[in-house]
A and B are shown apart, each in its own frame.
Chain A
Amino acid sequence: MKKALSVLLSIVFIVSLAACSGGSSSKDGAKNISILTPFLSSVTTNEMVEALKKQAEDHGWKANVIDTKGDVGQLASRMEDVIASKTDAIVIVSTDPNQLKAQIQSAKDKGIPVLGCDSGYIDGMTMNATSDNTEMSKMVTTHLFDSLGKKGNLVVLTYRAHPGVLKRTLLLDEMLQQNPDVKKVTEMQVEVPGPIESARKEMESLLLANKAEGSITAVWTGWDEPAIGAAQAIEASGRKDIVVIGIDGNSQAVDMIKKGSPLVATVKQNFPGMAEIVAQQLENVFQGKEVEGTELYAPASLITKDNA
């Protein structure tokens, strides 16, 4: 009996301790921003969340970060909770808003703005900041075509089922039409998940099938993971005449570019830039002004061996 009571009391004690450490809501007048994501452990998402926290601090807002470890159902529940707690704004990071339609609507009904950081925009949201996929693709594809002297044999590794990657690939299609001397050897769809391994295997087979020097001059990939896989395959085969480009600027890719692998260029998405745009637009909302647009782009930058 005594033991049971002591266990019970300690539970209540622990919970109340935690609850008190949680701090009181915005009685001090500072705006409360709820930052929600299911992917805090992902490198890029984490970078954005950290940048958002920094931005919130600079604007004098109180940021509360909620991560649900990949669980979108949980995310919907936690979003309802922050709506119930009358938060002043919600920022969803790296989250497909289509999965939160009902919650976004209910936030809108309660007058709580929902902003996206690299999330996508749907009706009911205030705005979303992301990268312009077409523009990024143009940057790196132009760089590749220029360095090839606008002629050569191109292998394409992509995944058209992903809406962002599709935009990048469509731009490539357009540029291939404008540059008839760049010939497409083949286009392969990379398997997701496991894109690095999949691209590596595909590239190994393609190298065996195209042994003659110059039969492949470059590999265009829809994002960095297949670029890494393709570069590894080329490196292992010992062929020096093939270059690879990627898009995203993930740290492994940048590292490979630095070390002089077949991977020669990528485009780095500006994640802190996205956080900055979200914060600016939120400031506008708090001041009762209109946002500058519902889908805003953070400018990306080309990474080559010179600046990696």
Chain B
Amino acid sequence: MMETTKITKTSSSVQWSKLFRSYGTVIAGILIIIMFSVLNPGSFATLDNAINISRQISFLVIIGIGATIVMSVSEFDLSIGAMASLGGVIAAKIIASGGPLWIAFVVPVLVALIIGFINGWIVTQFRVLSFITTLAMSTVLGGFTFWLTGGATIFENIPDSFRYIGQKSLGSIPMLSIVMLLVTILFWYVMTQTAFGRRLYAIGGNESASRIAGLRVKWNKNAAFALGAALAALTGVLMASRLGSAHPTAGNGLFLQAYAAAYLGMTSFKEGVPNIWGTFVGAAIIGVLANGLTIMEVPTFMQDVITGVIVIAAVIMQRLGRNAQ
């Protein structure tokens, strides 16, 4: 009799702990939302504000997915922030000089694919740290952006058509939120339901084993870098569209937050593995915190402290999850 009880107890506790490890971040996110809602029912917990948040997190989600793809092959791309700035500037330059709308959206992404590929090529060909390579690339891109803009914001001659995606809504849903969802679903599919995605995770999990198994490690890694950069550039273009202008450092602040979102995401759904929906949840938590704390009039410096502490906590939780496995 006693034996039976003991066994039941252990297995339920294992289940709880598994649930917790898999969905801890999601639970924390929900708790945070409930807390803000209780404290500010009139301003936080409104449909308007929910729509507001969905638009605000769209940039972070998209660039965060880019970071996640690169992280899936166990590399880092620190140039995504500078890439976003450059992407926005290229788009604004094209549209301000009278170029067609689709060119303004496509060219920055193509440029980014090439730059991302170069990043990957340098890392895989010369077996150098992606950390340093992409940090250096970030400086190169920053310099290039300043050269293109002369350091000034581009806002003249930008037609209303360019602002459409960034500022308009379909019904009451912002176009940006729709784009964000489409990108998330697309890359969730690519990363989990296609052979390409599985190859990336295999390489990230064990590179030498993948090589022995006959995977084209270099090519796949280059592709991951290229996709990451392309999503960063897309983020930059969308930001320019939202602001109706392009600032030479507009995307730089996103780079650290993108990794924060990806790390937060590693603690949800798939334990310890960078994953697309996890990054989405991570970005949403960061977005909700920024929105809620601003509504509560918490000073900006405090917001930074809290966001940083939460990321540290997420990393610890991810570690605990791994140890428990």
Which residues of A are found within 8 Å of B93, using beta-carbon distances? none
Asked if residues B155 and A96 are in contact (CB atoms below 8 Å), the reply is yes
Q: Give CA–CA (A64, B20) in the complex, Å.
A: 37
Contact assessment for B289 and A84 in the assembled complex, using a CB-CB cutoff below 8 Å: no
Write the B302-325 contact mask toward A (1 if CB under 8 angstroms, else 0): 110010011001001100110010
How far apart are B53's CB and chain A's nearest CB, in angstroms? 9
A1 contact set on B, CB distance < 8 A = 13, 16-17, 20, 324
Partner of A4 from B44, B146, B254, B317 at Cβ < 8 Å: B317
Q: A209 within 8 Å of B by Cβ?
A: no
Q: Are A77 and B247 in contact (CB under 8 A)?
A: no
Q: Does A14 contact B (CB under 8 A)?
A: yes
Taking CB atoms, residues of chain A closer than 8 Å to B155 are: 96, 98-99
- Interfacial residues of chain B within 21-46, with CB under 8 A of chain A in the complex: 21, 24, 27-28, 31-32, 35-36, 39-40, 42-44, 46
**Residue from the list A10, A81, A102 in contact with B167, Cβ < 8 A:** A102
Interface size on A, residues (CB 8 A): 50
Contact A99 B247 (CB under 8 A): yes
Q: Which of A32, A66, A74 contacts B253 (CB 8 A)?
A: A74
Q: Is the interface of A mostly helix, strand, loop or mixed?
A: helix
Contact of B28 among A12, A64, A162 (CB under 8 A): A12
Interface positions of A from 71 to 90, Cβ below 8 Å from B: 71-74, 76-78, 80-82, 84-86
- Contact between A21 and B298, CB atoms less than 8 A apart: yes
Contact B298 A77 (CB under 8 A): no
B293 touches A18 (CB 8 A): yes
Among B108-116, B215-223, B236-244, the one that faces the other chain is: B236-244
Q: Are B294 and A78 in contact, with the CB atoms below 8 A?
A: yes
Q: Which of B167, B292, B298, B320 contacts A3 (CB 8 A)?
A: B320
- Quick one: which of B103-154 are within 8 Å of A by CB? 146, 150-153
- The complex places the Cα of A66 from the Cα of B13 at a distance, in Å, of 45
Does residue A188 face the partner (Cβ distance < 8 Å to B)?
A: no
Q: Provide the A1-39 mask, 1 if CB < 8 A to any CB of B, else 0.
A: 101110110111011101111110100000010000000
**Contact partners of A85 in chain B: CB under 8 A:** 40, 43, 294-297
* A295 at the B interface (CB under 8 A): no
The interface on chain B, measured as residues whose beta carbon lies within 8 A of the other chain's beta carbons, has a size of 67
Q: Pick the contact of A21 from B56, B242, B302 — CB < 8 Å?
A: B302
Contact A70 B320 (CB under 8 A): no
Q: Is the CB of A98 within 8 A of B245?
A: yes
CA distance A67 to B152 in the complex (A): 20
Q: A161: which of B31, B39, B152 is its contact (CB, 8 Å)?
A: B152
B68 interface hit (Cβ, 8 Å): no
Enumerate B146-169 residues with CB–CB distance to A below 8 Å.
146, 150-153, 155, 163, 167
Q: Are B56 and A77 in contact, with the CB atoms below 8 A?
A: yes
Neighbouring B residues of A70 by C-beta, 8 Å: 249, 252-253
Q: Are A64 and B242 in contact (CB under 8 A)?
A: no
Given contacts A8-B24, A15-B32, A193-B151, A84 and B52 within 8 Å (CB-CB): yes
Known contacts A85-B43, A86-B43; is-contact A99 B245 (Cβ 8 Å): yes
The verdict on A101 contacting chain B, using a C-beta distance below 8 Å, is: yes
**Cβ distance A64 to chain B, nearest Cβ, rounded Å:** 5
CA distance A117 to B191 in the complex (A): 48
Please indicate the chain A residues that have their CB under 8 angstroms from the CB of B46 in the complex: 84
Most buried by B among A19, A21, A86: A19
Cβ of B90 < 8 Å from any Cβ of A? no
Name the residue in B13, B36, B292, B295 with the highest tally of chain A Cβ atoms < 10 Å from its Cβ.
B295
A192 at interface by CB-CB < 8 Å: yes
Residues of B within 8 A of A77 (CB): 56, 290-291
Whether, in the assembled complex, A65 has its beta carbon less than 8 Å from a beta carbon of chain B, the answer is yes
Known A22-B296, A161-B150; contact A11-B313, beta-carbon cutoff 8 A: yes
A7 touches B316 (CB 8 A): yes
Tell me the complex Cα distance, A32–B296, Å.
12
B299 within 8 Å of A (CB atoms): yes
Quick check: A11 and B310 within 8 Å, CB to CB? yes
A259: B residues at CB distance < 8 A: none
In Å, the complex CA distance between A4 and B290 comes to 24
Cβ of A69 within 8 Å of any chain B Cβ, yes or no, is: yes
| Complex: A230 Cα to B300 Cα, angstroms | 39
Interface flag for B3 (CB, 8 Å)? no
Is B201 interfacial (CB 8 A cutoff)?
A: no
Whether A5 pairs with B52 at a CB distance below 8 angstroms is no
Task: Please report the C-alpha to C-alpha distance between residue A188 and residue B117 in the assembled complex, in whole angstroms.
Answer: 41
* Cβ–Cβ contact B317 & A66, under 8 A: no
Interface set of A (CB-CB < 8 Å, partner B): 1, 3-5, 7-8, 10-12, 14-16, 18-23, 25, 32, 64-74, 76-78, 80-82, 84-86, 96, 98-102, 161-162, 192-193
A-B contact pairs, 28 of them (CB 8 A): A1-B16, A4-B20, A4-B317, A7-B313, A11-B32, A12-B31, A12-B32, A14-B306, A18-B303, A18-B306, A32-B297, A65-B299, A65-B300, A68-B253, A69-B253, A71-B249, A71-B250, A72-B153, A73-B242, A77-B56, A77-B291, A80-B52, A82-B295, A98-B155, A99-B243, A102-B163, A102-B242, A192-B152
* Interface residues of B, Cβ cutoff 8 Å to A: 13, 16-17, 20-21, 24, 27-28, 31-32, 35-36, 39-40, 42-44, 46, 48-49, 52, 55-56, 59, 146, 150-153, 155, 163, 167, 239, 242-245, 247, 249-254, 289-300, 302-303, 306, 309-310, 313, 316-317, 320-321, 324
| Shortest 10 CB-CB contacts between residues of A and residues of B | A22-B296, A1-B17, A81-B294, A22-B298, A71-B253, A85-B295, A77-B56, A64-B297, A193-B151, A98-B155
